[in-house]
Amino acid sequence: MTAPFRVGDWIAEPMANRLTRGDDVRRVEPKVMEVLATMAARPGETVTKDEFMAEVWTGTVVTDDVLARCISELRKALDDSARNPTYVETLRKRGYALIAPVEHGLDLDLTATPFIATPQGDGAAPLTGLDVRRPVLPTRTRPVVLVWGLLAVAVVLVGALWAYRAGLAGVRPLASVPVTSFPGDERDPALSPDGSRVAFAWDGGVPGASEDERQFDIYVLPATGGGTPVRLTMQPADELSPAWSPDGSRVAYVRCGSGGECGVYVVDAGGGPEESLVTSDDLAITDLVWSPDGSRLAFSGRRGRQGAFSLHLLPLDGSPPQRLTAPASTYPGDLGPAFSPDGQRLAFVRTELDGRQDVAVVTVQGGRVRRLAREQKGVTGLDWTPDGEEVIYAANRDGAAGLWRVGLEGGDPRWVALGTDGGEIAGPSVGRAGGLAFARQLVRSQLVAVSADGAERAVAASTRDDRQPTVAPDGSRVAFISTRSGSHEVWVAEADGTGARQLTAFGGARVSGPRWSPDGRTLVVSARADGDADVFLVLPDGTVRALTDSDADDVAPTWSRDGEAIYFASNRGETWQIYRVPASGGDAEAVTVGGGVAAAEAPGGGLLVIRPTRRGLWRLPVVDGEIRDVRAEQLAVNLSPADWANWSVVGDAVYVMERRYDRAATIVRLDPATGDRETVAAVADVPEDSGLGVFPGGSRILLSRLDRADSDVVLVEDFH
């Protein structure tokens, strides 16, 4: 490629080895420009290392480091970040992709005035990061240009100020009105195509009902609210995720029984007998949506009760479901699909192990998944605008729960101003002619201490979300993750919960998995301070020091028993593995080859590991002074990859939270030397990432409990 082209905000001129953005001009090395041009010829596609070698370094033998250096120089020139890229994305073990929009065939005036580049330092001027001066102008023209330049700046500033004030004056939050206000939990709203009705799932709101007694059924109600909802299902099982047919005459939904069997059914929107579309004993099904042409349904599904959810298409001609995406094997995977108005694409949410989420798009033919936005916190649903130009999604960004919209070319998401009265937003559903329904959730979890006699007591109570507690080795203090300061941060309190104080100030990053050092002075956490997750040490005064800095996700850190090293899980390779890094800093080394998403040193030696694709807890022995993965022994506890935070090694015992799918759990004490296990307590209303802290000797167990989990359906009539 020799002709100029636009990439994102920059104009690239291959023949001049020049990048221009407004008055900012940067020169790059010829090979760096060739690397950019190679990717620009195939925007959005992966260019492998072999392809770079064949196109950029034809007939030359070079190492992969040369390509990596060119990519690094290119990112510097484009002001891009490897951790949170907007231009060049690294596809580990595969190559690189140019993810910014590319425009060819530009009509540019290339008779530009020459520029002077001032060298930095003592040597010759570098080819990137140049201090670019103004164009060289004849002396007699400089005063005139200066005057006109100052006038132009003044006009721009006045215009910007006017636009800013006008913008603020014109921002009017979209009015939202409740559709439901029933007791209990109303979720999964689906706005009918004409916007006149809302289908939703409701647990009945029976006062005092236990988790086993509550049952979700599908209801339909006018979108304006009022009246008695029409109940469409009455079977003794949970029915969720209603989806309207394109003509608004029928509603499809998912039914899953307590034994794990799931099916997709359809019923007339006014009630009547149901029709079975597909049933399965081993395929978990959720998040149903109907295609605009009525020919098929899409859903998220997975085989069994472990591994990742994938998107599936279900033809309505009687054919079996077809798998569309193949995310990494770790839970949870791909959820919440939504058909574009033309039916050719599905937007969905791809979630990593510790919560990082991508708003992504894939065609209904499958193929490459394209990311539109990357989020650190909960994305709780999405849908398309009626024109198919943007995706609307619900998320908590920088401590603010709300709706955001992003175009198909990505870029910075834009906030949607809504007039709500608090709570989280979930499951946005956009009508074909406009209008928006969503569920407003009021969810709060609190720390609870459970004694050996079963007595429970709140610890460090607040009105916000508190999770993942950990107890200092001497039992004098507890640390936990809380949103009471507005974003996820590490907090510390006395053993009885008094004196709670904020310890970290990551300022909006997702923080997880705090663990005390053996001497009780330092904490280790994982935080997404700059896109990817890294491991950090938190000192007693709140000072934070990074232990890892990679393009991958480093999560679930724990200390070695001697305090000399930190174990953590990372997806630096093809699969999640356990790594070890010195607590004083240094290079990390892989410990496992069979996979791992969380680990801790076992009492008596060896390493305890949770696998990414299998349930259970595995003990890896030490052979000749080294941890060996080939002789792993499975221990008799029931943990899934999602339970990476729900276990703890204390003294000679391992404490495990065995969760059920009705939010109930059993706390088990396991002796890894003998395999003996003892039930410590039974608890209810436990969130998935509760965490488990244990006081010395097992005298008390600290966990997180859902204190409130209600939701109502809300309508925004003037959304377009």
- Residue-level pLDDT at 59: 66
The token duo for 598 is 């969380």
| Residue 663 burial (10 A CB sphere; 0-12, 13-18, 19+) | middle
Strands 262-268 vs 370-375: parallel, antiparallel or unpaired: unpaired
Tell me the H-state helices in 412-562: none
Compute the mean pLDDT over every residue in the chain, rounded to the nearest whole number: 83
Length of the chain: 720
Provide the sign of the torsion angle of the four alpha carbons 340, 345, 350, 356, taken in this order.
negative
Round to whole Å and give the CA distance between 713 and 188.
Answer: 9
Closest to 470 in 3D by CA, of 512, 514, 503, 505: 514
- Each residue's pLDDT tens digit, 188-207: 999 999 999 999 999 887 65
Residue range 325-352: mean pLDDT, rounded: 90
Has residue 421 got a pLDDT over 60?
no
- Residue-level pLDDT at 231: 95
Has residue 347 got a pLDDT over 80?
yes
The token duo for 346 is 């599905």
The token duo for 406 is 């992003």
Contacts 24+ apart (CB under 8 A), 586-589: 588/548, 588/554
Q: What DSSP letter does each residue of 378-401 carry, written as one string?
A: -EEEEEE-TTSSEEEEEEEETTEE
| Residue 591 burial (10 A CB sphere; 0-12, 13-18, 19+) | buried
Has residue 170 got a pLDDT over 70?
no
Round to whole Å and give the CA distance between 192 and 200.
Answer: 11
- Residue-level pLDDT at 429: 96
Q: Which residue has the higher pLDDT, 148 or 497?
A: 497
pTM, 2 dp: 0.64
Round to whole Å and give the CA distance between 109 and 468.
Answer: 59
Query: Where does the pLDDT of residue 305 fall: very low under 50, low under 70, confident under 90, or very high at 90 and above?
Result: low
Closest to 510 in 3D by CA, of 633, 640, 377, 629: 377
Query: Where does the pLDDT of residue 539 fall: very low under 50, low under 70, confident under 90, or very high at 90 and above?
Result: very high
| Residue 2 burial (10 A CB sphere; 0-12, 13-18, 19+) | exposed
Residue range 270-292: mean pLDDT, rounded: 93
> Which of 85-89, 242-246, 443-447, 477-481 is least confident?
443-447
- Each residue's pLDDT tens digit, 349-385: 998 776 678 899 999 999 889 999 888 667 999 999 9
- Residue-level pLDDT at 45: 86
Residue range 278-288: mean pLDDT, rounded: 91
Residue range 539-551: mean pLDDT, rounded: 90
| Residue 121 burial (10 A CB sphere; 0-12, 13-18, 19+) | exposed
Round to whole Å and give the CA distance between 524 and 513.
Answer: 8
> Which of 335-339, 433-437, 707-711 is least confident?
707-711
- Residue-level pLDDT at 143: 39
Round to whole Å and give the CA distance between 61 and 360.
Answer: 37
Hey, which of 112-116, 303-307, 313-317 has the most confident mean pLDDT?
313-317
- Each residue's pLDDT tens digit, 109-165: 443 333 323 233 333 333 333 223 223 333 333 333 333 343 443 433 333 333 333
- Residue-level pLDDT at 162: 35
Radius of gyration of the chain (CA): 28
- Residue-level pLDDT at 165: 33
